[in-house]
A and B are shown apart, each in its own frame.
Chain A
Amino acid sequence: MSIELKKVTKKFGDIEAVKDVSFSVEDGELMALLGPSGGGKTTVLRMIAGLETPTKGDIFIGGRRVNDVPVQQRNIGFVFQNYALFKTMSVFDNVAFGLKIKGWSRAERRKRVEELLELFDLTGLESRYPHQLSGGQRQRVAIARALAPKPRVLLLDEPFGAVDAKIRQDLREWLVRLHSELNVTTIFVTHDQEEAMEVSRRIAIFSRGILEQVGTPRDVYEQPCNEFVARFVGVLNVLETEVRGGVARAGELEFPAHGLSEGQRMRIGFRPYAVQVSSDPTQYRYNAVLRHTFFLGVMLRLELELPSGLTVRARISKEEYQMLGLQDGQLVSFQIKQYRVLAQEGAALQPEVALTYEPPPNYGADI
């Protein structure tokens, strides 16, 4: 079922938790609502479920306006952050609850529950109680329970928040597989950008109740619409520059002035992948000391310290790292291939500016 929000606002007293939010989710899509806590994403999810009522605006599920449809009749599956399993019921009764309410016969219930327990790798745990399960098992029971009555939409609130890192990784992959098997429209809330990037096809980014951007993981990473998104999704080097001698400077680093006059300030951002590093101190324009190397699986993050004390983060692949033979404490040279003028928070971003060549010491403002 498709979901659409049109100019939805939610106030709690005087506080606007969600401000004028509009977006849509297509039938069968897997979408993430991403943002820092207090961003309004959980409120949006709860409004779709019917656990909260919008103050203004309309919500459509499958093309039908559901503002006045009570939660019981929306036919959604909701997975709570802490799972909210029924503690006085066994795993079987938890999963069967929705079916019992909907009046399925005993035999039908048994068949459906067994089918789900098998799908969720929970067979044999039917008679256990929630407190006798591991975190990952509880989470799977919660999802099985939500899916049992065959909902049109599956909503998950921070589904991986309460399990440890190793299981979280497994669960992410499992959720992607599950979604492609069941093909039910799925929305999940997370504050973890990595999780949102990995699991979903599209991401909606929220901050302070405002929908900042909706797009594919690649869109929001490469084409962030503002500084908040750029900083929230992935790592970003941010520099405060000041125009002196016709060039915007921050420590040793120089950027075109972009039409600014002497003494004016400008904020510049660039991704770690836009920093090209060489072990030859003379190859690129800037020199720095490699302070730390962080191993992030196949990729590595380098922390480069310039003589002025400025720190720049770079990202390279494992192969590149080995090829260059880098070591902590070593003198390296680097250049910045692309950067953005961030100007100030909230303002629209200018397109990325490429600096793939060695810039002359004094180039014009127009590049």
Chain B
Amino acid sequence: MRRLLIAIALAFSAVFLLLPLVNVFAQALSRGWAYYVDSLAHPDSLAAIRLTLLTSLICVPLNVLFGIAAAWAIAKFDFSGKSLLITLIDLPFSVSPVVAGLMLVVLFGAQGFLGAWLREHDIKVIFAVPGIVIATLFVTFPFVARELIPLMQAIGSEQEQAALTLGASGWQTFWHVTLPSVKWGLLYGVILCNARAMGEFGAVSVVSGHITGLTDTMPLRVEKLYNEYNAAAAFAVASLLALLALVTLAIKTMLEWKTRRELALAQTIGSVAPVEQPEKFDSNASNTP
């Protein structure tokens, strides 16, 4: 029975997970190595890679800042509206990315609430890079915060109070005490956030306008090439995203282990705060096409 179950699980993983992944690389190289390199070196592909990197370079730090601030506030203070804030942080998980994109169009589009004002000031959001960044920010919103909240709650605030009694200022306490004790959890959140930022398709697709060479991110570029019946080039770009997924997976596994240790450490000694297991959200959300 046990062997059968294991066999089923392995077969399933092979067909639905491993095979597609292998296929991505096989297809990418189906017209030879030179074509693969050419596909990636194509100016439009390079532009897409640049835009994807830029988007994630903006979104990840912003989400780190927000995530730390939100987790800090939720874990250390009691305030009215706390449960509302926790719910809001989770919102991007429950909203379909396409809907998220449409919400931005409604808000910033030509006919949107802020459309007239934006036009007056000559600011383009929808069908431009700012829209892509905002859409990505929205969908990656929860990653860092969700990772840090349970960790910070488990650690409690006694260590920070101890630092204060020893003369440390708020910032010194944050740098020397708070940050080091959550660093692996933070990195874990950053890795997941980055994977999602680079791989996001739905929300970005709605706001991008698909202007080749200008507002195409890597996932959008993959779709476009595929629709143009250029499968080999599409898979060449896709292979980069698949590679990113593999690297993310490897780092994630390592960090998960470190984070668990961090949490276990928080629980073993000197924590009076009620200890909660971290809710591991669906990591499949870090998507690749």
Which residues from chain A sit less than 8 Å from chain B, CB to CB?
49-51, 71-73, 75-78, 80-89, 97-98, 101-102, 130-131, 138, 145-146, 149
The listed residue with most B CB atoms (<10 A of its CB), out of A83, A87, A89, is A87
CB contacts under 8 Å to A, within B227-283, are 265-266, 268-272
Binds A, one of B12-20, B115-123, B174-182: B174-182
Residue of B nearest to A77 (CB): B165
Contact, CB under 8 Å: A146 / B272: no
Residue of A nearest to B160 (CB): A84
CA distance A86 to B162 in the complex (A): 9
Residue of B nearest to A81 (CB): B272
CA distance A199 to B180 in the complex (A): 37
Asked whether A86 and B177 contact (CB < 8 A) given A71-B164, A80-B161, the answer is yes
Residues of A within 8 A of B272 (CB): 81-82
**Is there a chain A Cβ closer than 8 Å to B168's Cβ?**
yes
Residues of B within 8 A of A145 (CB): 162, 166
Asked whether A98 and B164 contact (CB < 8 A) given A85-B270, A86-B177, A87-B265, the answer is no
CA distance A130 to B265 in the complex (A): 10
Residues of B within 8 A of A84 (CB): 158-159, 161-162, 270
Asked whether A101 and B167 contact (CB < 8 A) given A84-B161, A87-B181, A87-B265, the answer is yes
Interface SS majority for chain B: helix
**Is there a chain A Cβ closer than 8 Å to B23's Cβ?**
no
Residue of A nearest to B272 (CB): A82
Contact, CB under 8 Å: A97 / B163: yes
Which residues from chain B sit less than 8 Å from chain A, CB to CB?
158-159, 161-169, 172, 176-177, 180-181, 265-266, 268-272
Residues of B within 8 A of A97 (CB): 163, 166, 168, 176
CA distance A75 to B172 in the complex (A): 17
Contact, CB under 8 Å: A82 / B269: yes
Contact, CB under 8 Å: B172 / A78: no
Minimum CB–CB distance from A274 to chain B (whole Å) comes to 41
Contact, CB under 8 Å: B165 / A146: yes
Asked whether A86 and B159 contact (CB < 8 A) given A101-B172, A131-B268, A138-B269, the answer is yes
Contact, CB under 8 Å: A102 / B167: yes
CA distance A71 to B173 in the complex (A): 13
Contact, CB under 8 Å: B165 / A71: yes
Contact, CB under 8 Å: B158 / A51: no
Contact, CB under 8 Å: B158 / A82: yes
The listed residue with most A CB atoms (<10 A of its CB), out of B180, B181, B266, B269, is B269
Minimum CB–CB distance from A18 to chain B (whole Å) comes to 18
Contact, CB under 8 Å: A149 / B269: no
Residues of A within 8 A of B265 (CB): 87, 131
Contact, CB under 8 Å: A76 / B165: yes
Choose from A51, A88, A130 the contact partner of B269 (Cβ within 8 Å).
A130
Minimum CB–CB distance from A99 to chain B (whole Å) comes to 9
Asked whether A80 and B169 contact (CB < 8 A) given A85-B269, A97-B176, the answer is no
Choose from B161, B177, B180, B271 the contact partner of A51 (Cβ within 8 Å).
B161
CA distance A13 to B166 in the complex (A): 28
Asked whether A72 and B164 contact (CB < 8 A) given A97-B176, A130-B269, A131-B265, the answer is yes
